[in-house]
Each structure stands twice: as C-alpha cells, then as structure tokens.
Structure 1
Amino acid sequence: MQNILKQFNIEAVNSGASTGSQWLAAGGPELVSSSPVDGKAIAAVRTATRGDYDAVVQKAAEAFQAWRQWPAPRRGEVVRQVGEALRSSKEALGRLVSYEMGKSLQEGYGEVQEMIDICDFAVGLSRQLHGLTMHSERPGHRMYEQWHPLGITGIISAFNFPVAVWSWNSMLAWVCGNVCIWKPSEKTPLTAIACQQITAKVFAANGVPEGVSGLIIGEREAGAWMAEDPCIPLVSATGSTRMGKSVGAAVGARLGRALLELGGNNAIIISKEADLDMSLIGCVFGAVGTAGQRCTSTRRLIIHDSVYDSFKDKLVKAYGQLRIGNPLDEQHHVGPLIDKQAVDMYLAAIEKCKAEGGRFLVEGGVLEGQGYESGCYVKPAIAEVENGYSIVQHETFAPILYLIRYSDLDEAIALQNGVPQGLSSAIMTLNLREAELFLSQSGSDCGIANVNIGTSGAEIGGAFGGEKETGGGRESGSDAWKAYMRRQTNTINYSTKLPLAQGIKFDL
C-alpha cells in the first residue's frame, strides 16, 4: 500500500483543500484515515477551514468564467483523457478503494471501471447537449431552447462509493461547462486525493483553468458550508435520508438546486414462476456485496408461499458457503463494515428485529480472532419478519436480509412499495404478465425496477436515482445531464412586424 500512496503522492500532500494542482496549507484539525480491513492508520490529512473553503470557491468562480467558453467537444476531449488516466491507474486506485473503504478487490476495480465508463459516456455527451425547436404561433418567428452551464457544482459523496459517485457528477458537469467542488466522505479522504492528483495532471497538460476541479476535505460542517452557499447553484449530495433532508432544506432555503441520492430499502419479489437458481445469485450478491453497504443493497426478499420454504433453504445453504475476510484476498466474498460505529448500528438492528418478533435463520454477530483484528467484520444474517416492523421500514447499512411471505402479486407489489424509500426493486419471474405488471404504473414505485436481475449493480447508461425518501434525483446516464444546466427558451423575430402572442393588440 505504501507504493500506492507514493504513486498518488498522498502522504506528501497532507492537505484537505485544493483548487486543482494547487494544494492550500489547510489549517483544520488532522484527519486520520484508517482501514477497516486491518484497523491500521493509512495516512493523515489536514482538514479544510472555512477560510480554505472560501478560497476554493473563489478560485472555482473565476475558473468558470473561462471554462464555460471552451467548446463542449473540447471539454469532452479533456474528460476523455481523464478516462485514459484512470485506465492507467485502475489497479492502484482500485486497491486503494478496497483498502480504505473495505469493499472486495473486484468491487474496487469495478468502481474504477465505472469511472472510466462515465468518462466515455460524457465524451459522447459533449456533442449532444441539444435543445428542441418549436413552431411559433406568430409569423416570421422561430422558437428554440438551449442549455447553459449553471456555474459551480458542489458534490457531497458517501464512503460506500468513494470515487464513482464523484465521477458521475463531475464528468457530466465538466462537459456541460460547470466547475466542481468535491466534499468526499471524511471516512475515505485518501481516494479523493488520489483522484484529484490524477485529474490535475490531465488538466495541467491541457491548460484547463485552475479551479475547475476543487476539493474540500472535512467533517459534516464542510457539507453544510456548501449547502448554505449561494455561490453554488447546484449541490449534488449522496448519503443517508437524514443527511439529504438537511442538505435539501438548506439549499431550498436559498432557492438553489439539490440533486439528492439518498437511502434505499430495496426488495426482490421471488415469484412462484421464478428461476430459483438464477434468483439465488442476484439475491445473495445484492444482500452481502459491499457488506450490505450499497444504497441498492437488497434488504428484503418477498417470496411466494409456494416456493418460500425451498428458496429459504437455498439461501441458508448459500450463506453457509460465504467466505468473510480481507477484501484484498479475492477468495473472500464479504469484507468489513466501514467502521465500529457501523458495527454498533448492525448489532442494534439485530436486537431491534428480535424484539419486534423477527426470527433469525442465519444468526449475525461480530467476528473475532486472526484476520478480524479491526473489529469491523460481521456475519451476514437472515431473518423472517413482517414488512410492518419498524426496523424493516428503516434502512440498515449492513448485511441483514429480511424474508417476507406473499400469496398473490398485488400483495407482493404492495409490500415492495410499503416502505418510505423508493430506490431499487426487482422481480424474479418467467411469467411475462407478472413482469409487465411489475413495470407498469400499478407496479414498483421505485426509480429502478428490474426483471430477473437483482437490485444492485446499475449500469451507467441509465439514469440512476429513486423516489420518496430516496430524494428524487437522477445521476449518470440518459438525460441526467440536464440537472447540471439551465434551460433557456429563445424566440427570434425575423419579420418586419412585432405581433404579440395570444393575438393581443397594442397599437401606438
């Protein structure tokens, strides 16, 4: 790991405030990043003060005046080169993601690949920032719409995807002509520094103005500065529903824009006509991948009565085969939770579930002994529950899977929708009518609805996000780029007269 730290010059930086290639002498308290893999300190960084934050914002505002004048395809070419730099750094950055966050090495590599993919998407997008043309009711007039950059995009990201979510936002924002300031999770600051170093080299080689890529590392108050700052027209925040409500209220109070990607409480419906063996793979990965710390992690399985017992037995057997340990060892399926606070929440959720009447088929607990010295490794658990339990209605960021019975599809859909969150959902069925009903306006109320794949592992080509307490935001693919721009409607009169709309007469 020391070689990786040297490759990205992380230990030499020791600063939590950057305008791109320039690192400020950050004056805040020191933040030590420790790995949940082994509990060891990786490196320390000085957090940003309010003064550091203001300096980064000022530089970003100056850079925007120049950056927005660059033609979009030229901005896209810079992003293409960022993608190439990420390809060259994929192994090292993927390992750093895995070690600092605790996800499996394959998932670490996958996260960097997701960054590369969004760069490719953004390059194509740079030539497609198009508006509509409309016929005017007035003769000799033409109407059309165009899209302009907003200015500074503030990005608040979570620990579970420490680099990918930043790339979803920044690559699209950059090709749209915005500049970005990133506030990463205080639990994973080193991966953010590595990304800043990668980007800075590409930007410097292309003469990109200093300030287009800003970085602020700090505790929660740094996110509050961003949310309350009228200089930042758009704040994209990923995290818990509690955090999102706070950010949304602060941004809304100043009539800014908030793009919120918040909690999920995702369910898979297992139909009596499902391919149970195929379903098992999606359910187990969805529940234990990233140790249950994805916003799209599978929290609930809603299983038809006729296959409930047989599928339950398959799950219990599969859980008995899970290998838990160091995520850098590719033989392991499950790594650690992010920290001991997460472990405490996991244990509290298990006790709450039992108190409400839940019956555990696979017991949870904290693993101890050789290889588990960090105290962050836990056992994936399975419990039979009722959907109405308060703990089931709540998102627990840990590998706890709840099993619920159903007898007909309308009931299953009602159970699926019967939680405050609305991010990802899925049905496993070979029945076309069931699949179509699930995807219809009478079906899933989530932003993502899948058939015969799990809730976890979205591709970058589609817009990502959810409804209800998930926040309503959309990132990544499709037309999510419009969130980073302002729409302008234009009317051009090329006639010799000035008629008014709606036939209004105003003669002088």
Structure 2
Amino acid sequence: MEFLKKLGIEGTNLGTSTGQKFIGSGAKETISSHTPIDGSQIADTTVTTREEYDQVVNTALEAFEEWRMTPAPKRGEIVRQIGLELREHKEYLGRLVTYEMGKIYQEGLGEVQEMIDICDFAVGQSRMLYGKTMPSERPRHRMYEQWHPLGITGIISAFNFPVAVYSWNAMIAAVAGNVMIWKGSEKTPLCSIAVQNIIAKVLKRNDLPEGIFNLVTGGREVGEWMTEDERLPLISATGSIRMGKEVAKTVAGRLGKTILELGGNNAIIVSKDADLEMAARAIAFGAVGTCGQRCTSTRRLIIHKEVFNPLKERLVEIYKEVNIGNPLKEDTLVGPLIDQQAIDNMQNALQEVQDEGGEVIYGGEVLENKQLDGGHYVRPAIVTAQNDWDIVQEETFAPILYLTQYSDLDEAISLHNGVKQGLSSSIFTLNIREGETFLSARGSDCGIANVNVGTSGAEIGGAFGGEKETGGGRESGSDAWKAYMRRQTNTINWGSEMPLAQGIEFDVD
C-alpha cells in the first residue's frame, strides 16, 4: 500500500533505533503485525535483543551529554520541525494508525493532530521552563530555583493510542533536555517505526547526534529491562492497572520516578435537568468511539430515575444507526476490536452481567459476514447493571455501557466515585449548582471532571491523568513538564560575610 511505502514500512522492519538509523539484523525473533480490519498480515518487526538494548542506552547516555547543554529554545526548534514533518505525513500516519490499530480514519487523523498540537505546545514551553526567585533571610544573599533534565526518559505506550501518547511524553521531555527510549505496544509496532522514521528526517537535517529519540521493540521482557534499569531515572508507562503496579514496584525499588497512566472506569451522571440530546450524543461518542478501547471511554452511565427511560430509548436509537465496519471507509463510525482476546473479554463480561441479573438492552453480538471476514467486529452493547457488581468495578476494554439509576445528586456522586479508578468523569446538567457541586471537593474524585462535555476528547493544553488506581500521573499540558525535570534550589552569597540561616552563631577563631 502506498501509505506504507511513504512511511518506510517494508516486509521485515528493524525494530531498534538510535534515532537516525535502525540497528540489528533480520535474522532473529520477529513480531508479525496483523490488521484487525481483516486479520491479514501487514509486516514483520524484529524484536530488540539485550545487546541492542544496551547499545541504545549507551548511545542515549552519550547524546544526553550534548542535548542537555543545548539551549532549551534550540531544543524547541527541533520539536517545531518535528511538528512540521508530522504535518507532511499526517494522512499517511493517520491511515497507518487506522490500519494497524483499527480506530476509524477520522480518529487516526485526530491522533496525529494531537502529536502536531503537542509539538506546538512544547515549542512554547521551551521558553517557559521557569524557576522562582525567593527572598533570603540572610543579607546579601540571593535564592532561586531552577530545573534540570533528568536524563533518559523511558516511555512505554499502549496499542489504543499508538503514537499520540508517546508524543505527549517525548516532545515535552525533549524540550526539557531529556533523551528518550520508547517501547511501543507489541500490537502496533509499525506505528512506532513510522514515527521514528519521521523524526529521523529532522535529526539528519539538523546534523544531530544519535541517541536523542530511541526505539526498542518487544513485549514484557523488553519493558522489564527498562523498568529495572537504573540508567533510566524516569519511566512513563501507559497500560493496565496490573501492569502499572508492577512498574511502580520495580521502579520505586531503585528509587526511580514514574508517570503512570493506567485504567479508567469513566462515568457520566445525567441529571433530570440535562439537555438529553446533547448528553446522548456525547455518551455515544464516548462509549463506542475507538470501539470502547480508550482509557477515557464512557463505561458507566448514572441516570436520574425521571429521565432513565427516555435516555435509554434514545441511546438505543443512536446505536442502531451507528455504522460498523472497515475503519478506512468514510461512513464507518465503529471499527474492530484489536484482537480475538478483546472479543472474548467482552463476551465474558456480558455473560457475567446477565448471570448477576442484568439485562442486555441492545447489542453485544460478534459480527461475522463477508464484508467483515477475518476482522474482530462486535456490536456495541447497552446493558443494565449495578455499580457494585465485580464486572462493573473492572475495566473491560470493549464497547459496553452500563446503565444504572439514581434519586439525588449525593447518591449519584457516591456511585460515580465508587470504583477504584479515577481518570475521566462528567455530569450533564443545566443546573449550575449541580455542575459546581460535581467540580467541588465533594464531587468527582477523578483527574478530569467535565460539565456538559463527555469523558473522551481531552485537549493537550490541560494536564492529562487520573487518581486512585489510575496511577496519579500527569502528561501533556499545564505544568506536566516538571515531571521530566529535577528541581534545584540555589543560594548565592554576594556579600563579604558568612551569616548562617536561622541566626545560628558559629564563630571560629
């Protein structure tokens, strides 16, 4: 396919890169990438060996010596050029994201646009790595703080956003003076290679050293090399809660730093004072977009009892109109799940709901016909359930929307917060008191809380992340840049005496 050639994807691709070149040989273990659209093989990617991994780390350490001393605005200039290069390749990379991951083409393009947007944001940030000046209690002393890069930022990303989440980390970390080692998902290795090829064009054009933007490829073993490696002071990991707990334990054991973006079990409260049509459309996008495979997907719907039936009926109407099929086609709104395991997980979850006494109101079927042969297609499901059921408490990475009722706002907030995850949240209401209560300290306990906005579609200008077992990490906008740097407090004595703090007297003859 033409877009694969434009991105430098061939039959067998080297999966280890030190920035401008790929290293290793094809005569070793490989990962086969298959499209979830029809199950066909796209290409192979070599798996990083331990020897190659150490070569990447050593190259990154050498590059850091030069990159950290490059003025931050000049680092920002490199990121600006990466953004321009992404603009040139937006159509091709967006199509690859769709082809390898399965989200619809508009969402694939949107993911690349997120990369472009974060590049723009990071360019501005490169001139705003501010420290504070503080008054000293000692005469003729000046106190201030400044921020320095940490070193190598290890980035472990997931299949559902195979390129955007990497850029949230990498572009901010780069302007902060860090170098990067990225392990993308083994389910979408070609997206990682394509991004590396795009960045390499900028690195070569600017005659930059190897080792600033690095790539390793593989599964759990390669990720463990990174989390155990003391040469990587920061690990930013996106994935399941189970994975995140292992990463946190390992990195903390060596007193390293982590940014964790883990599971989401996101809910929307729908008030009796809501604009139901606005709510229904936001719910549908949040619940079925990316076939329910976003960390911010809407999974729980907490509806006031007075509007429960009208909203339920409207959602069924919308779901019936959703076109499911090949995500590369313009009229498709829901593409496939990533693989057969995802289908099995969805079917098991639906069976558990019914065993508990819940009802499948609509959908849930595995779809098989000539047009969908070989792919992993399902019909998004709407079900009734209780918030405290075990299956509702867990995050099933599939398009299942759990509906439950409430009587008053305190009950709704209690149900909303009654899960172990805390990523994204929303309330739909035209009652200002309800909206402000939801955003107050007694409201949503999530890292993201919205009023009359769905749970999906966060902008890069705000810090992205969640609380509780979502991990507590923050990426992207606001002051998330601080996570990639170390704070240093400085004191300068410009006088001729040596006074001590706290008025301590220590005279030496």
Q: TM-score, normalising length from structure 2?
A: 0.99
Q: 2:4–2:92: 8 Å Cα contact kept in structure 1?
A: no
Q: CA deviation at 1:363?
A: 3.3
Q: What is the one-letter code of the residue matched to 1:221?
A: E
Quote the Cα distance in structure 2 between the aligned partners of 1:258 and 1:17.
23
1:10-409 pair list within 5 angstroms: 10-11=9-10, 14-26=13-25, 28-409=28-409
Q: CA deviation at 1:374?
A: 2.1
Deviations 1:398-430 (A, max 9, x none): 000000100000110010000000000000001
Quote the Cα distance in structure 2 between the aligned partners of 1:234 and 1:152.
7
Q: 1:39–1:374: 8 Å Cα contact kept in structure 2?
A: yes
Q: 1:118–1:171: 8 Å Cα contact kept in structure 2?
A: yes
2:6 paired residue number: 7
Task: Give the SS at the match of 1:207.
Answer: coil
Which stretch of the first structure deviates more once superposed, 481-490 or 343-352? 343-352
Task: Give the SS at the match of 1:337.
Answer: coil
Q: What is the one-letter code of the residue matched to 2:221?
A: E
Q: 1:291–1:399: 8 Å Cα contact kept in structure 2?
A: yes
Quote the Cα distance in structure 1 between the aligned partners of 2:80 and 2:103.
27
Q: What is the one-letter code of the residue matched to 1:168?
A: W
Q: 1:234–1:256: 8 Å Cα contact kept in structure 2?
A: yes
Task: Give the SS at the match of 1:268.
Answer: strand
1:504 paired residue number: 504
Q: CA deviation at 1:499?
A: 1.0
Quote the Cα distance in structure 2 between the aligned partners of 1:374 and 1:159.
19
Quote the Cα distance in structure 2 between the aligned partners of 1:252 and 1:142.
35
Which stretch of the first structure deviates more once superposed, 366-375 or 156-165? 366-375
Deviations 1:288-343 (A, max 9, x none): 00000000000000000111111111111111111100000121110000011111
Q: 1:367–1:375: 8 Å Cα contact kept in structure 2?
A: no
2:466 paired residue number: 466
Runs of 4+ in structure 1 deviating by more than 3 angstroms, as ranges, are none
1:485 paired residue number: 485
Q: CA deviation at 1:489?
A: 0.4
Q: CA deviation at 1:480?
A: 0.2
Segments of 5+ residues of structure 2 without an aligned counterpart are none
Q: 1:13–1:23: 8 Å Cα contact kept in structure 2?
A: no
Quote the Cα distance in structure 2 between the aligned partners of 1:388 and 1:374.
36
Q: What is the one-letter code of the residue matched to 2:187?
A: K
Task: Give the SS at the match of 1:258.
Answer: strand
Quote the Cα distance in structure 2 between the aligned partners of 1:13 and 1:146.
46
Task: Give the SS at the match of 1:11.
Answer: coil
Q: 1:28–1:48: 8 Å Cα contact kept in structure 2?
A: no
Quote the Cα distance in structure 1 between the aligned partners of 2:330 and 2:146.
48
Q: CA deviation at 1:28?
A: 4.2
Quote the Cα distance in structure 2 between the aligned partners of 1:468 and 1:137.
40
Quote the Cα distance in structure 1 between the aligned partners of 2:410 and 2:131.
40
Q: CA deviation at 1:5?
A: 1.7
Q: 1:155–1:182: 8 Å Cα contact kept in structure 2?
A: yes
Q: What is the one-letter code of the residue matched to 1:91?
A: E
Quote the Cα distance in structure 1 between the aligned partners of 2:116 and 2:363.
39
Q: 1:142–1:491: 8 Å Cα contact kept in structure 2?
A: yes
Q: What is the one-letter code of the residue matched to 1:24?
A: I
Q: 2:270–2:304: 8 Å Cα contact kept in structure 1?
A: yes
Count of matched residue pairs: 507
Query: Identity of paired residues, percent?
Result: 64
Q: 2:7–2:92: 8 Å Cα contact kept in structure 1?
A: no
